[in-house]
Amino acid sequence: MRHQHLLSTHAQQRFIIKTIGLSDYLPVWQAMRDFTQARTVQTHDEIWLLQHPPVFTQGIAGKDEHLLNSHGIDVIKTDRGGQITYHGPGQIVAYLLLDIRRLKLGVRELVRNMESAVIDLLKSYHIDASGRIEAPGVYVNNAKIASLGLKIKKSFCYHGIALNVDMDLTPFSYINPCGYQGLQVTQTKDLGIPDGLEIISNKLADQLQVKLLKG
């Protein structure tokens, strides 16, 4: 994993939060699989916060037709749910390595709580956002600001949610984002939110813990 050293690690409630930095997709994906394979019922749940260099990732149900033109950006077929999306610098990715049975969360509730974490984060900046039943993610004025995808293995999950903060959104036009032709995307910077990656990243981790540990 590039930049494998942890810039900060701290335990909050039952989750361990790791801020990793800019890291290539493939090593991080492998690290998530290794962590999940090795974990036991005693293993602490973790949230990994990071950014990826430019990369398209295509979920297990992903259709090749939704990649319009890669423009030389790597395309990786991965094991999460969902279609194709883009990751790049300036986007916060929060990977959730959780024991969902221990958290007493069903998959649908987990997804809704992930979305709610982003919605409440944006609400703190007076931005109205919402989810969609037919298209998981978070939207502001019909433009997608956060996408999500998960892999469930036994009672464990990995992958997570990606929030656009301050990035080059152009590569989203090279695909049908999440399988939807012409879907518009946005980011916190374009909504007038002044805070940068570090502050928003920490706030996202806090909101995820509030939602996922609720009760």
Binding-site residue positions? 80-87, 147-149, 160-162
43: left (phi over 0), alpha (psi -120 to 50) or beta: beta
| Residue list, annotated binding site for substrate | 80-87, 147-149, 160-162
Neighbours of 102 (CB within 10 A): 14
Read off φ and ψ for residue 205, nearest 5 degrees: -60, -40
Closest CA to 146 of 82, 195, 198: 82
β-pairing, 15-22 vs 45-51, is parallel
Half-sphere CA count of 129, side-chain side, radius 13 A: 30
Read off φ and ψ for residue 148, nearest 5 degrees: -145, 155
53: which 2 tokens? 């260099």
Q: DSSP readout, 93-154?
A: EEEEEEETTTTT--HHHHHHHHHHHHHHHHHTTT---EE-SSS-SEEETTEEEEEEEEEEET
Establish whether 178 is a catalytic residue: yes
> Cα(first)–Cα(last) distance of the chain, in Å?
35
Catalytic residue chosen out of the listed positions 105, 140, 150, 178:
178
136: which 2 tokens? 């998981």
Name the residues annotated as catalytic. Answer: 178
